[in-house]
Structure 1
Amino acid sequence: MSVVVSIHDVHATTSARSLELLDMVRRRGIRATLLVVPGPWRGRSLDDDPVLVDRLSAAAAEGYELALHGWRHQPNKLSTTRNTRNRLMARGCAEFCDLDLDTARDLIARGVDEMERHGWSPLGFTPPGWLASDAAVDALYEAGFAYTTSHLTVTDLWHDRQIRIPAVCQRPDSSLAGVGSWFTRQVLVRHVVQGRPIRLALHPADLDDPTTRDATIATLDIAACRPTASYADLLDVQLGSVTAA
């Protein structure tokens, strides 16, 4: 079974690290989905980094999947319970975890429009922190997306089915980073040895600290021991359109 690999938080603000991760997976022959934040974030936009845009277009031409990863990675007004989950699970970036239908429609449409302006047609959506309200998922159905993801499942929206396949990541920029690195390696090794499917989520911030950088290299070497896949590969969907089959 495959290791599904994704690079999160791809944006002008993370350009150097995102492209370094892309180079790392490419050198190992690893298939991956690049999760793009298309809106304004930390004072920058994709238009501020034409090199990144060109590299992403080249990656798409090579067969790497470009998927939508929220709009601007900033939270909206949250309930107390969801605000706590936002801080713990998404480090304050869970903009889709408490949205109503109209707001979700608007942000998704903005994201799709911006990606299509650069020539990219996203089939999938991974919400920041893997947290999305029921209304946000309904909006994804309406928009014709092929799939969305949570921490434990991949939801095939075209065929109304769920694939249980957990995701592991190092949780950079949190007090749990050290534990996350150890846990990620242990779980990944176990699944690879046993031939069980697993998702490996990479973040640009994984490369900021020497410890998590070394752990990232180790996890990629482990992942490369098994067949790897993008989300589109997992669902066997054709890249290039946001239209239901």
Structure 2
Amino acid sequence: MSGKFFVVSLHDVHAGNYHIFNEFIKKLNELGVYFVSLLVVPYMHKEHDLSSDLKFVRWLQKKQSQGHEIVLHGYYHYEEIKKDSIFKNIISSIYTAHEGEFYRISYYDAESRIRKGLESFRCNGLKAYGFVAPAWLVNDNTLKTLKNAGLTYTTKLTGILLLKSDIFLKAPVLSLTSRSLLRKLLSIIWARLFSFISVFSPIVRVSVHPGDLETPILKEQLLAEIVHLKKRRNFLTYKELSGLYAESD
């Protein structure tokens, strides 16, 4: 597959916060990026049930009809605290702030949550082709469940996995964090390095979180990088990208 591509994904979209993404989507349209992948959490922290908010459902339906992609992004988006190895506990507490829902999950729980998430989408006229785990952490139990559910792809921190062929597409991701002042400063440094690091990669990703949009310096940095990428690459959703590579296989 020839060509260079980039995907813009909006993370942690749920019934309690979807309105904050409207302005950013409008700005992307002005920049010529017309379609994004919306990573939707059906029952965020057990407080924001997609099916109980008709305005949110209609908003998602409208975005889907406009060409945006709806992606299943976990189910609760948090992980119950568990006793495990020191390394895994550090990953859960420091890297993910206990939001790595599918990091240490059992097959039964993974199957149940993915099934309920997809059913919630289906009942509300939404179609998901892919799954992105919170913090990009997926274990083998989750991968088995995703394949059995007939989903097309999932993503990891380092790239995109096509589930039917097991082809892995390396794709560096620009992801920032607003959780502390130090993390914000490191995010700005990483954003400026990203342009140089990713130049030879056929696929790159820009992942936008709610906290980024509430932090002006991070929001502007993301928009600047998207403008830079738009000059040199074609934008696609994850669904479109996985379809291109599946057809070339």
TM-score, normalisation: structure 2: 0.86
Q: Report SS of the residue matched to 1:12.
A: coil
- Which 10-residue stretch deviates more, 205-214 or 154-163? 205-214
Query: Over residues 91-149 of structure 1, what are the superposed CA-to-partner deviations in whole Å (9 max), with x where a residue is unaligned?
Result: 32111100111110001011111111211111100000000111111111111110111
- Matched letter for residue 161 of structure 1: I
Structure 1 residue 190: Cα displacement: 5.0
| Offset at residue 47 of structure 1 (A) | 4.3
Query: What are the within-5 Å matches in structure 2 for residues 147-166 of structure 1?
Result: 147-166=153-172
SS at match of 2:43: coil
Alignment of 1:130 onto 2:136: yes
Any conservation in 2 of the 1:21–1:204 contact (CA below 8 Å)? no
Q: Distance in 1 between matches of 2:201 and 2:133?
A: 27
Residue in 1 that maps onto 2:204: 198
The equivalences for 1:1-245 within 5 A come to: 1-30=4-33, 31-41=35-45, 43-47=47-51, 49-78=53-82, 79=84, 80-174=86-180, 175-188=182-195, 191-192=198-199, 194=200, 196-225=202-231, 226-236=233-243
Alpha-carbon distance in 2 for matches of 1:227, 1:25: 14
**Whole-angstrom CA distance in 2 between matches of 1:107 and 1:64:** 23
Distance 1:165 1:126 in 2: 14
1:181 CA drift (Å): 2.7
Unaligned runs of at least 5 residues, structure 2: 245-249
1:40 shift after superposition: 4.0
> Cα distance 1:53–1:23, how it changes in 2: closer, same or farther (>3 A)?
farther
Please state how far the C-alpha of 1:151 moved relative to its aligned partner: 0.2
> Match of 1:71, SS?
coil
Q: Give, in whole Å, the separation in 2 of the partners of 1:75 and 1:67.
A: 20
CA gap 1:2/1:18 in 2 versus in 1, 3 angstroms = same
Partner of 2:247: none
Across the aligned residues of Structure 1 and Structure 2, the Cα RMSD in angstroms comes to: 2.0
Q: Structure 1 vs Structure 2: percent identity of aligned residues?
A: 25
Residue 242 of structure 1: aligned partner: none
Q: How many residues in Structure 1 have an aligned counterpart in Structure 2?
A: 236
TM-score by length of 1: 0.88
Q: Which amino acid aligns with 1:36?
A: V
> Structure 1 stretch 120-129 or stretch 30-39: which is displaced more?
30-39
Runs (5+) with no aligned partner, structure 1: 238-245
